[in-house]
Each structure stands twice: as C-alpha cells, then as structure tokens.
Amino acid sequence: MKSLSIKNHYITLIRRIVQITAFLLLNYYIIQWIFSINIYSLKGYASYFPILQTPRSVISNESGILELIFFQGVNGIFPFLLIGIFILTILFANRSFCGWICPMGTIQDALAIIPVKRKKFKEKTHQSLLKFKFLIAVLIIVIVLPLGLSIGSNVLFYNNYKANISLVADKPIGFFSLSEFIFVSFPELMIDIWANGNLTPLFSNPWIFISFMVYIFIIILSVYYPRFYCRYFCPVGAFCGMISGQSFLKISRSPVKCVGRYECGICEKVCPKQIRILDEPFEFFSGNGECNVCLKCMEKCPYGAIKFNFG
C-alpha cells in the first residue's frame, strides 16, 4: 500500500481551489451563459462523464451518470457501461468527488462562512437520520424499476404509469435533488414571482410550496450542521456509500501516533460528516461509506497519525 504525501496545511487551500474550479467548469449554465461557450457538440461524450451536472444540461441528463443510469433503465436499456464507469470511479477515487468536486458540496461548504456556532446531533439521532438517504435511494429504485421491466412487455401499463409519475420518470435523481432546487426550481420561481409582482406562484401548486419549504429548511440546517444535505438526503451519496467501503483509495490511522479520543479527538471534532473516526479500524476508516475524503482530519491531526493511501 503506497502512502500519498500532501503537505497538510495546504489541503484546505488546494481543496477550495479545486472546488471553485470544478463549480465553474462543470456547470453548464456558467459555461454557456457567462463564458458564452457552446458545448453542445460534446453531447455524445460529456454525458458519460461521472460527474454531477447542473440539472437540465443539454450534455447530461440531470444529475450526471446516476441520472443517466436510471434514465436508460426507464427506457428499457440496461446501462452496463454506465454502471461499470460509476463503480470503477468509486473504487479508484472513493468519494473524493463528493468532497472535492460536487457543486452542492461546495455550496454547503461555503455556508461555513456564516459565523454561527456549529452543532452536532446526538449519535443515536445521527445514525437514524443517516438511513433517510438510503430510503430515498430505495424509493427511486422502486418507482423506476416497473418502467424498465414493463416497456417491452406491457406498453399500455408503461405509458399510463410513466404519465402518472412523469416528473420522477424524467429525472429520478433530480426530483430529490437540492441541485435541481437551487439551479432550476428556485430561479424559475423567483422569475415568476417577479413577473407577477406577488407570491401567487409559490402557492399555485401544493408541491411547489412544500418542496420550497423543505429545501429552504435543509439549507438553513446546513448552516448549523455541516453537509446536512450530503449526510442525510443526497441519493447520489447513498449509492456512492454502498461501494466506497471497497475503494482502493483509503484513509488510515497510525496506532502508534494516535493518542485517542480522551487525550485529543481533534479529528472527530473537525469531521463535517460527524464520523466517529476513533471507533473505526486503524487500517481503513470510512464511517460506513460516509467519508467524503475531504482530508480535514488529516490536516488538523497534531500528531500526523492520519495518512492517505492507495492500494
């Protein structure tokens, strides 16, 4: 197993640069509108990039590769290639996408600028809430699976069922995505409110009002609880977490250098995902797939006990 060396005090600076660069370059709207670059010609290639695209991008269907996997499934195509790319990406890069590239992660990290006292849930509450994103992931599969199975055998059922769940069928991941709300739903709602001169568009549909309140509540909680959406609601994180425990990219803790929770415990205090690092195995800790590989624990450890390994 090869240890990868990074000067610890540079980690946050490097990560911020990567996050901002990724936010600009992987965001279709910014490239298309601000930089005036037409990237439609890349449609056949960019749709297979394992990245979380801005919703409704012309070069990717909603939330990147996972959305494409479900989108092909809805249309009766088993996405062998996409599933393979997704699994290999997690195996070789772990969840570094979540910690370093994901635009929603970047936005939530930016909320840390707000000067409020950060909070933590009680461990029992935290563990219970962690299950919620997996319930969303299962719900997506349960809703979408009948479409993929019926498209070739019962066209009438397929058409009726798809018509009834049109929003979810068109964007299974995006339907539950904070990205969809921030980049699409919220701006469209604000434009409608501005055009009408009142709040009528907010109350025009019960789903619009409910989703608005839920996502605003999530954003507010993200100010006090770091990466709140990532921890408990992100379906992409749920699917990534199922694989990341087998990744070749590992974070380990030295049993010789680490002095434990009672004499130190800094790594657990700075972890934005509230992982009990000191209860994890020394050779590889991931918090049951929750670790985003942000390397904050490695950066802040005063004993140099945490290492970044590949192999």
Q: Report the C-alpha gap between 31 and 11 in whole angstroms.
A: 27
Can you give the pLDDT at residue 153? Answer: 75
Can you give the pLDDT at residue 47? Answer: 45
pTM of the model: 0.82
Amino acid of residue 290: E
Can you give the pLDDT at residue 277? Answer: 92
Closest to 100 in 3D by CA, of 64, 133, 51, 63: 51
- Taking 3-state DSSP, the helix, strand and coil percentages for the chain, each rounded to the nearest 5, stand at 60, 5, 35
Can you give the pLDDT at residue 54? Answer: 43
How far is residue 232 from each of residues 132, 183, 293, measured CA to CA in Å? 6, 20, 17
The CA radius of gyration of the chain, in Å to the nearest whole number, is: 21
Between these two residues, 234 and 26, which has the higher pLDDT value?
234
The pLDDT tens digits for 162-189 are: 777 777 777 777 778 888 788 778 888 8
Beta bridge partners of 310: 2, 249
The pLDDT tens digits for 217-246 are: 999 999 999 999 999 999 888 989 899 888
Can you give the pLDDT at residue 64? Answer: 66
| Rounded average pLDDT over 267-279 | 92
The pLDDT tens digits for 29-88 are: 566 666 555 555 555 444 444 344 444 444 443 356 777 787 777 777 787 888 888 888
Select, from the ranges 23-27, 78-82, 111-115, 154-158, the one with the highest average predicted confidence (pLDDT).
Answer: 111-115
Going by pLDDT thresholds of 50, 70 and 90, the confidence category of residue 28 is low
Between these two residues, 288 and 162, which has the higher pLDDT value?
288
Amino acid of residue 233: F
The pLDDT tens digits for 187-206 are: 888 888 898 888 888 888 88
The pLDDT tens digits for 84-142 are: 888 888 999 899 888 998 888 889 999 988 999 989 999 999 999 999 999 999 988 88
Q: What angle is formed at CA 92 by the lines to CA 89 and CA 95, rounded to 5 degrees? A: 70
The pLDDT tens digits for 6-19 are: 555 688 899 999 98
Within 10 A of 126 (CB to CB), how many other CB atoms are there? Answer: 18
